[in-house]
Structure 1
Amino acid sequence: TLLVSAKMNLGDPIKIRVDIVHPMPTDVFLAAIVVRTLAQHGEAIRGIHGYLQGVPINEEMNALRFRMGMVEEENASLSGNIKTMETIDTITCRQEKRARMELKQQLTSVQESQLQDQEKFRKLQEIMPTTRQGANVVMTLEAVQAMIDQTLLRNNTTNDGSQN
């Protein structure tokens, strides 16, 4: 313990009293035990800390790696599915385009055929002779046969209905 008085002049001598404590061997022994125990505890704590840090982190890292692998596989699978769907869409679009082109060609062909048929019908109507009552009735086989029979009958009979 050092006692210094601040009330004294600077030239006055200072009284310093020092108490020296001589440790007892038992105190030193207890201090060594405490230090050794703390050191052991420190080692134990570091070991536990290392174990707690290492094991769960390794397990967690392995779990994360496993999950990451699963996610990468799922992404690869989804990417494959997307490419397959894009390919199907491309093929479908091509087939639809081809089908539209074919339908357009068929429609054009049908329209051309219809125009030709209309032109032929118009020409037939111009060629067909007309009577005073209007256009001639279309002749069927039965009508032609009836006309032939009537003509034959007229040629073979006289006006009175008797035959020659």
Structure 2
Amino acid sequence: MSNLKIVIPSHKRHDRVFAKKLVNNPIICVADSQADLYRQYNPECEIVTHPDDVIGLIPKRNWMARHFGDLMMLDDDVHVVKTLFCEKGETGVIRAPDQITHIIESLYELACLLDVHLFGFTSAISPVMYNEWGYYSLSKMITGCAYGVRYNKNVWWNEEIRLKEDFWISCYMKFKERRIL
């Protein structure tokens, strides 16, 4: 069993946490003041709360990284996972939470083996866009809708950045550690 937690940061979407259906044992992370509503609408999920003074997604990411250590963050509105390889006529949609959880845990294990602290999935929407040699990269970024961290002193988000924090953390980790996965 790995130390990885699959965490869904959410805010005022207690009735629309789509990502919880994708994986096994998701944790929803919300402000203290929203906990009761989230528990009411998501009884099958563990709800972890942060102080109400942690406002905004970027401070929430910093709080979650410190709190959980090793985690995969899935945005609450992620509703589908697709593979880049499929037969002609197939959609590539993966529906089994066991399979999606296994993919996430396998990526985490690879990150541990390679001593990489920021990892995640491609934003390529087509197999022809994917560079199979670019997985260990100095030039790519990881989209914020599904990325993970192995927490260390270099993993933090600049809270002055209001948008595109995924670009920022990808660039920052490549600057500090020279790699992401």
TM-score range, shorter chain: under 0.3
What TM-score do the two structures reach when normalised by structure 1? 0.13
> Which structure dedicates a bigger proportion of its chain to strand?
2
**Which of the two has higher C-alpha Rg?**
1
What TM-score do the two structures reach when normalised by structure 2? 0.12
> Which structure dedicates a bigger proportion of its chain to helix?
1
